[in-house]
Amino acid sequence: MYLAPEAYTKIREQVLEILHEKYPGQFIVGEPWDYIALFPAKHEKVGYLKLYQDIEFITYVVQYVNHGHLNCPEDETPDYTANYMKWEVVELLEDLLNDNMLFGVDRGLTFSMGIPRCPPENWEDYMEPGVDYFVWSGPIPNLAEEKGKDTAVFRKRLEE
């Protein structure tokens, strides 16, 4: 589904409005038709967060570890779509900026993954050997390697 121009404009406006309200001074506003916002890196091994608006969704890029998409609802009014996407961005940022989004990059650089809504007490359940792990504030220890545990979460995902 491609967004109507009115929805595209409203999403950008509403996302920037909520970002200014909830995260004042923490990001740089991008030019229209470029990116929406850039949050400077908290750690050099993770990199910046950039939010892009595509014609079907919002793409987020965490510079050195992952990227993902926030999908727009289909067949909704521009106002509904903009409001929905605004809150999707807030949910992403709440997870990310509070270190409740776990990123894994395998050491062979064949894949990377992000797991939202993953607080520290759940990290170990998603860890496996051979993968470097990160949260917004930086690298974290690989508990699977430290404890000799192998859940194969990422490898199983690749097989799906």
pLDDT digit string, tens, across residues 133-143: 999 999 999 99
Residue with tokens 């200014």: 20
Q: Whole-angstrom Cα distance, residue 60 to residue 4?
A: 21
pLDDT digit string, tens, across residues 58-114: 999 999 999 999 988 777 888 888 899 999 999 999 999 999 999 999 888 778 888
pTM of the model: 0.86
What are the structural domain ranges in the chain? 5-97, 102-159
Confidence of residue 144 (pLDDT cuts 50, 70, 90): confident
